[in-house]
Amino acid sequence: MVKQTDSATAAQAASGGTPLDVVVVGAGFAGLYMLHRLRQVGLRACAFERGDDVGGVWYWNRYPGARCDVESMQYSYSFSDELQQQWRWGERFAGQPELLDYARHVAERFDLRRDIRFGTAVKAAHYNQASALWEVCTDRGERLRARFCIMATGCLSASRMPDIEGIADYQGKHYHTGRWPHEGVDFSGQRVGVIGTGSSGIQAIPMLAQQAQQLLVFQRTANFSVPARNAPMDDAYERSWKDHYPALRERARVDTTSGTIYEKSARKAVEAPAHERQREFERRWEKGGVNFMHAFNDLMVDARSNETAADFVRAQIRAIVRDPAVAELLAPKDHPIGTKRICVDSDYFETYNRDNVRLIDLRTEPIERITATGLQTGRSHYPLDAIVFATGYDAMTGALLGIDIRGRSGARLSEHWAGGPRSYLGLMAAGFPNLFTITGPGSPSVLSNMIFAIEQHVEWITDCMVWMRDKGHDSIEAEVAAQDDWVAHVNQVADATLFNQANSWYLGANVPGKARVFMPYTGGVVAYRQKCDAVADSAYQGFRFERVPAKPAGAANTQDVDL
């Protein structure tokens, strides 16, 4: 456990002193940068983090094989040139330990820990209309008041165990990829079952197969995956980035769809001759990474084009996997490629050629229950010493709605969002003044490079708060009409893509009962940034501002809020 340094600010605030300017919830990459920027502009802030250290998703996801699918040179902060020049990445795609080291380095370098309370989860945040303050309560019984509450809670931080009967009866060990034990797990000599073949499962399976005596993979839906071709960082490649970082970061801002620079194509797949298409897919497959999905510019909007890429990947799977029946089960056929987050792997399909790995198709033999000793499907009982749940997250809204958030007149965010998340620009929800969400639903968020998206939101929010301070405003709130227009626009641009054709977590489809709404903004980071900047330049059109009336001398500036 990292030693906690209580700051004077946090201690004073927690003891009921002067309200803070800002409470930040979460100390992952979003929370860290938010704290840094707030300090730079002279706002008093503290952050609460439920983990015992910084890093967010890279603190929790310690499963073997956990690795970022955006290249290290781009999945990194751009706000400090010294940081980006001095930090040295060890691999083309950084693994979880290196990413956690990076987050720790940033926390040390900018002296952020003194304003973070670790091992502390925020349970409730209620808005007090009279004082225009948020009243925040933690699981350690602390209460504090702050003008702004900023949710840096992450999009993939509420991990989900599936609703499978009998988990409590199981006498072996079980693990969720998103809550991996810090001390690691030794599966040597064990019969291990993995449930789930999304990005996490696909990364973990090759590593688990190297250790376990026998690995059974329980697959419900086959997923598209492209090889990472990960390698130690090439010095010349690193230098080529560092020599041109300012220009390249700017290019990411103005000339990409996701904030990550890929090799863009000006061609449509349907218009390219078949042999050229094949050559281009092959070239990108050999280079590795998500760059594959940029081979042509219409893969996500034209079903016929998409099918050419999907066919190519299916052919690769059939070429890699020796058993044709297994290859057929691994070849995805029920959704267009890319409509579920494309996976990036190291030797995933090759792993099925190992003698100790077996694929169980849950479409032909669904899971009936977990027993004391293993897993019962409609066909067999599989004895297992350990089960790994790679079953994903209540994405984008799960962590937010896990907190009892109440806005104006006590309205609950969970009720406000019962039919799916509604926000203006993914930054604020009407009825919840002074509550910002970093990379919230309605922004490009998970469809983009997350650190890139975080930086844009943090900078926009900071500028907005400074503007409010200069103008003497106490509260900012999204207007309902602006929110309605934005939500309609988010849906409209999503409908113009193929994304709605998959039962993905983007749509909430993986959580029973969750409203089926496409949550991230598909319009691209350039259009999104332009919209955010235009709103700011027009004195924050679509938001309204208020000033708290001065109280008569002696009158308290708060009212009781039931926390």
Q: Which is nearer to ligand NAP, 120 or 339 (CB)?
A: 339
- Is 221 a binding residue for ligand NAP by CB under 6 A? The answer is yes
Q: Which is nearer to ligand NAP, 277 or 335 (CB)?
A: 335
- Is 198 a binding residue for ligand NAP by CB under 6 A? The answer is yes
- Is 69 a binding residue for ligand NAP by CB under 6 A? The answer is yes
CB 179 within 8 A of CB 159: yes
Contact residue for ligand NAP among 284, 294, 341, 457 (CB under 6 A): 341
The interface mask with ligand NAP, positions 414-453, x = CB under 6 A, is --------------------------------x-------
The secondary structure of 361-384 as a DSSP string is: ETTTS-EEEE-SSEEEESS-EEE-
- Is 201 a binding residue for ligand NAP by CB under 6 A? The answer is yes
CB 121 within 8 A of CB 60: no
Using alpha carbons only, give the angle 467, 561, 542 rounded to the nearest 5 degrees.
30
Using alpha carbons only, give the angle 331, 336, 340 rounded to the nearest 5 degrees.
90
Q: Which is nearer to ligand NAP, 156 or 321 (CB)?
A: 156
H/E run at residue 31: helix 29-40
- Is 156 a binding residue for ligand NAP by CB under 6 A? The answer is yes
Question: Shortest Cβ distance from residue 340 to ligand NAP (Å)?
Answer: 7
Number of residues interacting with ligand NAP: please give it, by CB under 6 A: 28
Q: Which is nearer to ligand NAP, 76 or 510 (CB)?
A: 510
Residues 158, 159, 164, 168: what is their CA dihedral angle, to the nearest 10 degrees?
Answer: -100
Question: Shortest Cβ distance from residue 544 to ligand NAP (Å)?
Answer: 35
Show the DSSP H helices in 183-234 as ranges.
199-211
Contact residue for ligand NAP among 105, 123, 143, 220 (CB under 6 A): 220
How many Cα atoms within 13 Å fall on the side-chain side of residue 105? 16
CB 179 within 8 A of CB 60: yes
Q: Which is nearer to ligand NAP, 200 or 351 (CB)?
A: 200
Residue type, 245: Y
Contact residue for ligand NAP among 199, 346, 437, 448 (CB under 6 A): 199
Q: Which long-range contacts (CB under 8 A, 24 or more apart) does 127-130 make?
A: 127/406, 127/407, 127/408, 127/432, 127/433, 127/434, 127/435, 128/558, 128/559, 128/561, 129/408, 129/409, 129/559, 130/548, 130/557, 130/558, 130/559
- Is 392 a binding residue for ligand NAP by CB under 6 A? The answer is yes
> Contact region for ligand NAP (CB under 6 A) — 22-30, 130-138, 384-392, 552-560?
384-392
Question: Shortest Cβ distance from residue 367 to ligand NAP (Å)?
Answer: 6
Q: Which is nearer to ligand NAP, 67 or 191 (CB)?
A: 67
> Contact region for ligand NAP (CB under 6 A) — 109-117, 197-205, 538-546, 554-562?
197-205
- Is 362 a binding residue for ligand NAP by CB under 6 A? The answer is yes
Q: Which residue is nearest to ligand NAP (CB)?
A: 198
The interface mask with ligand NAP, positions 491-530, x = CB under 6 A, is --------------x----x--------------------
Show the DSSP H helices in 64-187 as ranges.
81-86, 96-109
Joined tokens for residue 536 = 């700011």
Q: For residues 424 and 460, what is the distance between their CA atoms, to the nearest angstrom?
A: 14
Using alpha carbons only, give the angle 541, 20, 462 rounded to the nearest 5 degrees.
35
SS3 336: coil
Question: Shortest Cβ distance from residue 162 to ligand NAP (Å)?
Answer: 3
Contact residue for ligand NAP among 68, 149, 400, 535 (CB under 6 A): 68
How many Cα atoms within 13 Å fall on the side-chain side of residue 73? 21
> Which of 391, 440, 395, 344 shows the shortest CA–CA distance to 156?
395
Question: Shortest Cβ distance from residue 446 to ligand NAP (Å)?
Answer: 6
Contact residue for ligand NAP among 203, 423, 475, 483 (CB under 6 A): 203
Using alpha carbons only, give the angle 106, 112, 118 rounded to the nearest 5 degrees.
105
> Contact region for ligand NAP (CB under 6 A) — 29-37, 191-199, 238-246, 463-471?
191-199
Which residues contribute to the site for ligand NAP (CB under 6 A)? 67-69, 156, 162, 164, 177, 195-201, 203, 220-221, 341, 344, 362, 367, 390-393, 446, 505, 510
